[in-house]
Structure 1
Amino acid sequence: MPIIIHPTYFPSISHFVAIAKADSVVFEMEDNFQKQTNRNRMYIYSPNGIQLLNVPIKSCNSKQMTKDVKLETAFDWQKQHFKSLESAYRTSPFFEYFEDTFQPIFTKKHIFLMDLNLETINLVSKCLRLDFQPQKTTEYFHEVPQFEDFRGLANGKKDENEFENYTQVFHTKHGFLNNLSILDLLFNEGKFALEYLRMQDLS
């Protein structure tokens, strides 16, 4: 069955489990922006445990569409994000292998959040060797019976999916941290990441 899902910033593992197992994928492009969701944030495994990386956006209201939300460029958040990724994953098995692929996105000056999110998904998909051609919505529908609806995964606080453990850099300090950004799986599992995704189940 085809799925419908929100493009988010370096999406969670649950996002990519849904994508990897789908017959086809449709990205929701016509929703209103909601604050405090993964639309503009990701979670990584830092030396101190779970760490939130938030993409700053220009002030907007609840009626503004996500695709119209602009990034705040007053300070260099991209440099901070990449430094945090280096600190978290420099010693992981596959960080150096993928580093050159991801570094340019942290210097490119995107204007819109949606463009940034779509590019992160595209880059990760190439690294996973996950070949899919997503379609995009042109109108918003609350009910989408023709799709398996995974749009709720964008709200990380309500995403209760639990996945199998894999080895993480700081697992001896903090244990296994579940359902972080897909980058955590990619940097730790590399070429085995796609197989892992296809073996997981969504609740």
Structure 2
Amino acid sequence: MSAVLLSTTYFGPVQWYQKLYRYNDVFIDWHESFQKQTYRNRCLIATTQGIQALTVPVVHGSKASINEMLISDHGNWRHLHWQALQSAYGDSPFFEYYEDDLRPFFAERNWERLVDYNDAICKKMCELLDFQPNIILSSEFRVQSSCEQASNLSDFRQVISPKHPLEDTDFKPHPYYQVYQQKHGFLPNLSILDLLFNMGPESIFYL
């Protein structure tokens, strides 16, 4: 496959990382308008109660450009997110294996902008998954113009969505082991963390 256009994500879903793995060039739009209740600042995890959304609070309103969105410290969310992950995946096969790599994202305040935070997360996740995508960050107003050299560009910015996903014929979420599968059945397309904590080094073969 040639090139794909994606939105930035906070520990994005398996579907998002599948695109990073399968496409030659990955354009991530850093100038689109921020949209609430999307993967841009939210991820979905599996808990004993079912699916739980973890949301990064931001400072600016919904009309701001995504590269202007600042991370808020409201509500001690970093601590709460890490607690939620420990509770949800503490008994998973690979949580302890990866927790030292991931804890800094919840214990430190090294990032002010959401896009920088998401970019650092993406790089770490690709390192842990053991692949190196060719990512091009677009800060131009007309992101399409920055991709003109890429033939057969596939735009998944609106397709990959937690609330209203559009059809994606290339993504078929086959079941893998999940901690709460006996209770809830297989829960597809959760955060990449769900795949990593449950499948470990074999996660790359699922993508």
How far did 1:121 drift? 0.8
Question: What CA distance in whole angstroms lies between the structure 1 residues aligned with 2:192 and 2:104?
Answer: 18
- What CA deviation, in whole Å up to 9, does each residue of 1:90-110 have, x standing for no partner? 111111100000001111212
- What CA deviation, in whole Å up to 9, does each residue of 1:121-168 have, x standing for no partner? 111101000112311113233756742112124532222554000110
1:159 lines up with 2:162 in the alignment: no
* One-letter identity of the residue aligned with 1:121: C
TM-score (norm 2): 0.89
3-state SS, counterpart of residue 43 of structure 2: strand
Please say which of residues 154-163 and 121-130 is displaced more in the overlay: 154-163
Question: CA separation of 1:22/1:174 partners in 2, compared to 1, >3 Å: closer, same or farther?
Answer: same
Give yes or no for contact 1:9–1:39 (8 Å, CA) kept in 2.
Answer: yes
Question: What CA distance in whole angstroms lies between the structure 1 residues aligned with 2:52 and 2:132?
Answer: 30
* One-letter identity of the residue aligned with 1:76: N
After TM superposition, the structure 1 = structure 2 runs for residues 116-195 of structure 1, keeping only pairs within 5 Å, are 116-141=117-142, 146=151, 147-159=153-165, 162-195=172-205
Give yes or no for contact 2:30–2:67 (8 Å, CA) kept in 1.
Answer: yes
Give yes or no for contact 1:162–1:178 (8 Å, CA) kept in 2.
Answer: no
Supply the RMSD in Å over aligned alpha carbons.
Answer: 1.6
Question: What CA distance in whole angstroms lies between the structure 2 residues aligned with 1:78 and 1:156?
Answer: 21
Which structure 2 segments of 5+ residues have no match?
none
How far did 1:23 drift? 0.9
Question: What CA distance in whole angstroms lies between the structure 2 residues aligned with 1:59 and 1:2?
Answer: 31
Aligned to 1:115: 116
Please say which of residues 160-169 and 106-115 is displaced more in the overlay: 160-169
Give yes or no for contact 1:162–1:179 (8 Å, CA) kept in 2.
Answer: no
After TM superposition, the structure 1 = structure 2 runs for residues 33-44 of structure 1, keeping only pairs within 5 Å, are 33-44=34-45
Question: What CA distance in whole angstroms lies between the structure 1 residues aligned with 2:177 and 2:62?
Answer: 40
Please say which of residues 160-169 and 99-108 is displaced more in the overlay: 160-169
How far did 1:61 drift? 3.7
Aligned to 1:200: none
Report % sequence identity.
33
* One-letter identity of the residue aligned with 2:173: F
How far did 1:60 drift? 1.4
Question: What CA distance in whole angstroms lies between the structure 1 residues aligned with 2:132 and 2:161?
Answer: 25
Which structure 1 segments of 5+ residues have no match?
198-203
